[in-house]
Amino acid sequence: MNDVILNKISVIERCINRINEEYDNNPENLRNYTKQDSIILNIQRACRASIDLAIYMI
């Protein structure tokens, strides 16, 4: 695999880890707007990296 693919995979993994850290398997964490913002931002980043990866691979 080349560096672009590895970088995008790393970004996706990092975003998923941050989502899991903030959510912490506790729906009550979604009442905290700061945690909610962090979760949403990381979902968006993971989606963007996934799209970039797919476009790169095509």
pTM of the model: 0.89
Q: What is the pLDDT of residues 3-57, one digit of tens each?
A: 999 999 999 999 999 999 999 999 999 999 999 999 999 999 999 999 999 999 9
Q: What is the pLDDT of residue 1?
A: 78
Secondary structure class of 58 (helix, strand, coil): coil
CA-to-CA distance for 9 and 13, rounded, in angstroms? 6
Q: How many structural domains comprise the chain?
A: 1
- Give the range of the structural domain holding residue 22, as residue numbers without chain letter: 3-57
